[in-house]
Amino acid sequence: MKRNKHNPIRRATAMFCCMSAILMCSVLFAQQEGPVYIKAKKIYTSDGGRIITSGGILIRDGKIVKVDERIKPPKDARVVDFSENTIIPGLIDAFSHMGFHREDYNVQTEPPNPHRAPLTGIYLLFYGSQQQQTPPPRIEPRFKASNAVYFGDASFPRFLSEGILKSVITIPTTNLSGGMAFAAGLGGGSVSAFEMADPVGMVFVFAGASNVMKRYGDLKKMFQDAQDYRKQQEKYKKDLKKYQDQQKKESDTSREKNDKEEPAAKEIQEPKEPKRNENHEAVLQVLDRKIPVLIKASKENEIQAALKIKDEFKVRLVLVGGQEAYKIPQDLVSRKVSVIAGPDVVLDKKGKRINYIQELLVSGIPVAFCSGSSQGASLIPFQLAFAVQNGLSRSQALDLVTIHPAKIFNLSNRLGSIVAGRDADFVVLDGEPFDLSTNVQWIYIGGQRFFSQE
């Protein structure tokens, strides 16, 4: 995972290559001039399950101006006829490792641990170089996925061709901390558009840990240390103000002197500023509820440990995975916890098939869907097609990858639904969503039309 934070030329070059690749497989239809009116056979709005038949969408300056239940194009609008097609909002992969690959996992994101070199030498002495693999770097809370992701990843156009227009990208790790996630626009055309929201959450991993309670204890201590750090900072500010007030008082020669000599005030020493800690400052964003904490937890004991963190620190908790959350739905509902499910859809438990996503939705738990990988995003339509075959409605499945993730990450004012005021990001299909015979025909990003088929 290479950090290109301090190399703007490299970042710009990589971004240019990424966008060039997208444009090679996507032909920009035309520079939008004036309003555009889209006629459609069917529009899935992801707005309370509303589906419009034979309706229209008015676009101006990259935004949706209105959505008509009857086709009523304004006289000054250019009309685009998709009257044989279905339109859905652009899909959102709620948790992925896009732009990261296995060969990147062992690349340092920070200067190497000074203790690692002698340990590696001892390992080589006993086991030889053929079996040696450099251990992956330890991810710290301050690490940002946006500084490590490869912007020129050739897979982004393929995800676009499946209708995946946005993704929450995270650093892949099995360690406790996964750093900070960001929301990416895959066809934005610039670095600022690609990094559309950063950060949107902080990742921690309980799933698969050999000792879940140790991870819980380590995370609890991390949060407590951040709280202590804040107290030190606040104390320093108070002490500094007292010191500055005393200095000002002593230097004020214009004030009137009292007849009686007053005893000299006790001299206040200038306080020493605490050393800045970027990890603590990053964690404080979670403790201040500015961003949610994303805890990967699949089994019931892992989920319960995550809920203890929620109870003790009052953070905004989002479970990632959550395969056994259906066993304790009321514990999640009472705490207003959301779940980012996937890539599993249906679980086999003792010979019984359980659509755990449907179980969570029935309980009133907000659920989004994710690929959870660097390459799995293109499989999302097929995985949700399987979910539809096992009980979900098409509207429910669509909400999992549109409005629900947008709400979880506070992006619903821009993304996730086809309603007035949202970005004009949507997908044109030749059939029903999540039907295995359906293909993506076109994608619209910011009101611009792209050809998406490879």
Cα–Cα distance, 97 to 104 (Å, whole number): 11
Min mean pLDDT across 82-96, 113-127, 133-147, 308-322 is at 113-127
169-193 pLDDT, tens digit each: 999 999 999 999 999 999 866 677 7
Same-domain check for residues 143 and 82: no
Question: For the residues of 174-215, what is the DSSP string, one character each?
Answer: SSSEEEEEEEEETT-SSHHHHEEEEEEEEEEE-TT-S-HHHH
**pLDDT surpassing 90 at residue 65:** yes
Domain count, the chain: 2
Is residue 375 in some structural domain? yes
Same-domain check for residues 137 and 61: no
Same-domain check for residues 408 and 420: no
**The Cα angle at residue 179 between residues 334 and 131, in degrees rounded to 5:** 120
């359980």: which residue's tokens? 354
Same-domain check for residues 450 and 331: no
Is residue 363 in some structural domain? yes
What confidence tier does 244 reach under pLDDT thresholds 50, 70, 90?
confident
Burial 301-334 (b: 16+ CB within 10 A, else e): ebbbbbbebbeebebbbbbbbbbbbbeeeeebee
Same-domain check for residues 157 and 287: yes
Q: Write the CATH number for 315.
A: 3.20.20.140
pLDDT at res. 421: 97
Nearest 10 degrees: Cα torsion 405, 66, 61, 163: 40
What confidence tier does 103 reach under pLDDT thresholds 50, 70, 90?
low
Burial 355-388 (b: 16+ CB within 10 A, else e): bbbbbbbeeebbbbbbbbbbbbbbebbebbbebb
What confidence tier does 379 reach under pLDDT thresholds 50, 70, 90?
very high
pLDDT at res. 452: 56
Same-domain check for residues 338 and 195: yes
Min mean pLDDT across 55-64, 238-247, 279-288, 422-431 is at 238-247
Which tokens in the block code for residue 371?
Answer: 């690929």
260-303 pLDDT, tens digit each: 555 555 677 888 999 999 999 999 999 999 999 999 999 999 99
**pLDDT surpassing 90 at residue 399:** yes
Q: Write the CATH number for 71.
A: 2.30.40.10
Same-domain check for residues 315 and 371: yes
Cα–chain center distance at 369: 12
Is residue 169 in some structural domain? yes
- The sheet that has 51-60: what strands, in order across it? 63-68, 51-60, 36-44, 78-89, 426-429, 440-445, 448-451
Min mean pLDDT across 23-27, 255-259, 291-295 is at 23-27
What confidence tier does 106 reach under pLDDT thresholds 50, 70, 90?
very low
More confident residue, 114 or 444: 444
HEC readout, 16-45:
HHHHHHHHHHCCECCCCCCCEEEEEEEEEC
Is residue 228 in some structural domain? no
pLDDT at res. 375: 86
Cα–chain center distance at 405: 9
pTM for the model:
0.84
**pLDDT surpassing 80 at residue 207:** yes
**pLDDT surpassing 80 at residue 359:** yes
**pLDDT surpassing 70 at residue 411:** yes
Same-domain check for residues 356 and 404: yes
**Residue 377: partners with Cβ closer than 8 Å, 6 or more residues away:** 93, 96, 98, 155, 159, 162, 164, 167, 371
Is residue 221 in some structural domain? no
The Cβ of residue 390 has, within 10 Å, a number of other Cβ atoms equal to: 14
298-319 pLDDT, tens digit each: 999 999 999 999 999 999 999 9
What confidence tier does 33 reach under pLDDT thresholds 50, 70, 90?
low
What confidence tier does 102 reach under pLDDT thresholds 50, 70, 90?
low
Cα–Cα distance, 437 to 154 (Å, whole number): 25
Is residue 77 in some structural domain? yes
Same-domain check for residues 143 and 203: yes
Cα–Cα distance, 335 to 133 (Å, whole number): 42
Same-domain check for residues 194 and 280: yes
Which is it for strands 448-451 and 195-205: parallel, antiparallel or unpaired?
A: unpaired
Same-domain check for residues 349 and 427: no
**Which of the listed ranges 4-8, 22-26, 273-277 does the model predict with the highest average pLDDT?**
273-277
- Mean pLDDT for 349-374 is 92
Average pLDDT in the chain: 85
Is residue 223 in some structural domain? no
pLDDT at res. 118: 42
For residue 248, give the H/E element and its range: helix 212-251
pLDDT at res. 414: 95
**Range of 337's domain?**
93-110+123-214+275-414
């400052």: which residue's tokens? 281
130-169 pLDDT, tens digit each: 444 555 567 899 999 999 888 878 888 889 999 999 999 9
Is residue 16 in some structural domain? no
Same-domain check for residues 423 and 347: no
